[in-house]
């Protein structure tokens, strides 16, 4: 799964090269691209609340492209910084939060109270997917395993917006985020076990 994800990521980045070159020529910084992507996600959330789902899907996908552009631009311009990585990760959580909150609002207006509760759980799951990776990496374990990382969640939500099947998308997203969290817990447990067997020391 990881190899497939990396392959498509490489192909997408190649297709973005003209845009990346233009952004670099215009002296646009990676952090500005990150912030612009967050603004687009907020616009997509507003369109969801207004029940313009197809337009929301288009804007949401555009925001997802910005999410890929910031890191690629940072590497191309040799402007990768710890703060840039921190800002990107933080605003990713903001972006997911606002779009899922908007979906929850729309479902609440439709009287689907159970689905609203599942949206909250799906949001918790998406946060845990990111947290488990960050916590594992703070312990010295690479943790990119899992079926439902951020790119997959973006695609899934976009499909829900385009085809107006948001409740079903939330069911799938919740199930797969829970599965991904479990995958990452098991992976981290095994890797830390290997470190212990090799005489490494890990502080909790």
Residue 180 belongs to a domain = yes
Write down the pLDDT at residue 1. 54
Write down the pLDDT at residue 11. 65
For residue 127, the domain's CATH number is 1.20.120.1760
**What does the DSSP assignment read for 108-141?**
HHTT-HHHHHHHHHHHHHHHHHHHHHHHHHHTT-
Residue 66 belongs to a domain = yes
| CA distance linking residue 133 with residue 142, whole number of Å | 8
What are the structure tokens assigned to 200, written together?
A: 């490494």
Write down the pLDDT at residue 200. 53
Residue 200 belongs to a domain = no
| Angle between helix 150-162 and 82-109 (nearest 10) | 30
Residue 140 belongs to a domain = yes
List, in sequence order, every beta strand (DSSP E) within 59-116: none
Write down the pLDDT at residue 2. 54
Residue 95 belongs to a domain = yes
Write down the pLDDT at residue 76. 82
Residue 203 belongs to a domain = no
Instruction: Look at the chain and report how many structural domains it folds into.
Output: 1
Estimate to the nearest angstrom the gap between the alpha carbon of 62 and the chain centroid. 14
Other beta carbons within 10 angstroms of residue 21's beta carbon come to: 12
- Structural domain span for residue 185: 2-191
Residue 198 belongs to a domain = no
Location of structure tokens 């313009």: 52
Residues contacting 64, CB < 8 A, separation 6+: 37, 151, 154, 155, 158
Please list the pLDDT of the chain residue by residue as tens digits (204 residues). Answer: 555 556 556 666 677 778 888 888 888 899 999 999 999 999 999 999 999 999 999 999 999 988 888 888 888 888 889 999 899 999 999 999 999 999 999 999 999 999 999 999 999 999 999 999 999 999 999 998 988 988 899 999 999 999 999 999 999 999 999 999 999 999 999 999 988 887 655 455
Residue 201 belongs to a domain = no
């Amino acid at each position: 799964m990881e190899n497939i994800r990396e392959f498509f990521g490489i192909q997408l980045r190649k297709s973005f090269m003209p845009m990346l070159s233009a952004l670099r020529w215009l002296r646009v910084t990676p952090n500005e691209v990150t912030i612009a992507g967050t603004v687009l996600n907020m616009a997509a959330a507003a369109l969801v609340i207004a029940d313009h789902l197809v337009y929301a899907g288009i804007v949401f996908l555009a925001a997802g492209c910005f999410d890929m552009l910031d890191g690629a631009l940072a590497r191309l311009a040799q402007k990768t910084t710890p703060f840039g990585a921190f800002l990107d990760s933080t605003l990713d959580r903001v972006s997911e939060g606002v779009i899922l909150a908007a979906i929850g609002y729309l479902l609440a207006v439709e009287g689907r109270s159970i689905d609203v509760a599942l949206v909250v759980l799906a949001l918790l799951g998406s946060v845990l997917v990111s947290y488990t990776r960050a916590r594992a990496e703070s312990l010295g374990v690479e943790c990119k395993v899992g079926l439902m990382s951020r790119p997959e969640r973006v695609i899934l939500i976009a499909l829900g917006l385009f085809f107006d099947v948001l409740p079903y998308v939330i069911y799938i997203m919740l199930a797969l985020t829970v599965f991904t969290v479990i995958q990452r817990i098991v992976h981290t447990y095994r890797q830390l076990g290997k470190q212990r067997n090799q005489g490494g020391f890990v502080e909790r």
